[in-house]
């Protein structure tokens, strides 16, 4: 892990690992025999195979940390619809915070989400659920010039007010898509944050929790999930 950052001599490894020289030499000897590292002069470096192992290990550590940090979200909610390639990269959401409702503010996740939207310039979202505030929120963002792409399920499309919908669709910076399958994640990804929510295993969407991150890796993860659903969707005119 230490060598993934750069090549290092014994002194550098001792500072990073806080271990005795004899322990480090014993360990590096084993790694050299397995062709995971090599020594060039006084410095140790990762081999090509070693780099692959290091990246896999880093991803595993991030994944475990992500799950352990927000166990209530990942263990009690549906994640079956998330594509496997993105589940394997769930560690990209490591630098996130979980906004939860409490007895003094049951709307805390929603209120926090609205505040974050005020700073955005581009927004992509997937919504299998409906909130009464959504049409007004979307209309306000459109009026401010925010570029919006929104994917909804057929059931959500059916309950949208056609008059309001036609007005929104007339705007150049708003695109609406519909997907003909069940979606079990409600999320928004913008130029500066991702908001991510899930359904409880009993099939009810959990409005009490919202995973938020402004980390670049998390935003890219969200963009990939959006593109996954976009490929399955049809544009609404």
Specify the pLDDT at position 56: 76
**Res 41 pLDDT > 90:** no
Q: Do 146 and 172 form a contact (C-beta atoms < 8 A)?
A: no
Specify the pLDDT at position 5: 66
Q: Do 194 and 224 form a contact (C-beta atoms < 8 A)?
A: no
Specify the pLDDT at position 12: 64
Tokens matching residue 171? 């705007």
Specify the pLDDT at position 153: 96
DSSP the chain: -GGGT--EEHHHHHHHH---HHHHHHHHHHHHHTTSEEEETTEEEE-HHHHHHHHHHHHHHHHHHHHHHTHHHHHSB--TTS-HHHHTTGGGG-S-EEEE-BTTBTTHHHHHHHHHHTT-SEEEEEESS--TTHHHHHHHHHHTT-EEEEEEEHHHHHHS-HHHHHHHHTSTTEEEEEESS---EEEEEESS-EEEEEBBTTS-B-TTEEEEE--HHHHHHHHHHHHHHHTTEEEE-
Question: Looking at per-residue confidence, does 61 or 8 come out higher?
Answer: 61
The pTM is what? 0.82
Specify the pLDDT at position 169: 93
pLDDT, tens digit, for every residue of 154-178?
A: 999 999 888 888 999 999 999 999 9
| 84-236 CATH choice from 3.40.50.720, 3.30.870.10, 3.90.550.10, 1.20.1050.10 | 3.30.870.10
pLDDT band per the 50, 70, 90 thresholds, residue 51? confident
- What mean pLDDT is reported for the chain? 87
- The string over 87-125, giving b where at least 16 C-beta atoms fall within 10 Å of a residue's C-beta and e elsewhere, is eebbbbbbbbeebbbeeeeeebbbebbeebbeebeebbb
Specify the pLDDT at position 28: 66
**3-state per-residue secondary structure call for 154-184:** HHHHHHCCHHHHHHHHCCCCEEEEEECCCCC
**Res 38 pLDDT > 70:** no
Specify the pLDDT at position 187: 98
Distance CA 194, CA 198 (A): 13
**Res 39 pLDDT > 80:** no
């Amino acid at each position: 892990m230490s060598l993934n950052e750069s090549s290092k001599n014994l002194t550098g490894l001792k500072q990073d690992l806080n271990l005795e020289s004899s322990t480090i030499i014993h360990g590096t000897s084993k790694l050299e025999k397995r062709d995971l590292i090599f020594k060039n002069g006084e410095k140790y470096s990762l081999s090509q195979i070693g780099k692959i192992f290091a990246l896999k290990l880093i991803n595993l550590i991030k994944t475990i940390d992500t799950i352990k940090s927000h166990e209530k979200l990942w263990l009690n909610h549906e994640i079956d619809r998330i594509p496997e390639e993105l589940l394997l990269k769930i560690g990209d959401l490591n630098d996130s915070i979980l906004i939860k409702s409490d007895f003094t503010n049951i709307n805390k996740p929603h209120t926090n989400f609205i505040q974050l939207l005020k700073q955005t310039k581009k927004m992509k979202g997937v919504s299998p659920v409906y909130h009464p505030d959504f049409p007004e929120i979307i209309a306000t963002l459109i009026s401010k010039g925010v570029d919006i792409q929104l994917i909804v399920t057929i059931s959500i499309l059916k309950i949208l007010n056609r008059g309001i919908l036609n007005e929104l669709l007339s705007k150049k910076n708003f695109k609406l898509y519909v997907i003909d399958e069940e979606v079990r994640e409600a999320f928004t990804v913008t130029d500066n944050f991702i908001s991510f929510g899930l359904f409880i295993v009993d099939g009810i969407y959990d409005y009490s929790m919202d995973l938020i991150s402004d980390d670049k890796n998390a935003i890219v993860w969200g963009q990939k999930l959006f593109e996954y659903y976009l490929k399955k969707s049809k544009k609404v005119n």
